[in-house]
Structure 1
Amino acid sequence: MDINVRKIAELASLDISDDDIPRFERDMKDIAAMVSELPDLGGESFIGMPMELRSDIVEDSAVSREELMKNAPESVKGCFAVPRTVEY
């Protein structure tokens, strides 16, 4: 399995030195091999307990939106703005 650590580091905005690349490649290959050996629990062979979801209840906060937004490095129309992380 070929793992491109430089591309992964770029997508994750990680600064990995050239000296560390071989170690990360080896570690990622070990992780991929371990995951590929996990049993397949899909289909009828696995009967799990369904996850119980809590109700989504809107509650008033003691902190105003303006107070929260003053800590945001950037906001757009009253919402937090973050850098794009997905390439198109």
Structure 2
Amino acid sequence: MEYLIFHNTEQHQFELKVDEGEAVLEYFLNHDTMVITHTYVPHILEGRGMGAALVRKALEFASEKNLKVIPVCSFAEAYIKRHPEYQSLTNEN
């Protein structure tokens, strides 16, 4: 499913809002690196692919801006491991 994700640059997060609640991916920038710190999906919204959509959007942003990515968030780290097309964004390759 395709979701509308808002990039809140002031709060350093990607936001996905639906009637039942809001899912969020938080990050901070350190020079040329995006550090993904947390992905939050309310329990009621789990299993709909929202976390994956948020991580994908953040990684696309990082790629467009030529940023390296450090996935401190375990969900983001697992997503990158499962999707080789994004592994070049990390320093682990």
What range is the shorter-chain TM-score in? under 0.3
TM-score, structure 2 normalization: 0.23
Select the structure with the greater relative contact order (CA < 8 A; seq sep ≥ 6). 2
Higher strand share: 2
TM-score, structure 1 normalization: 0.25
Larger Rg: 1
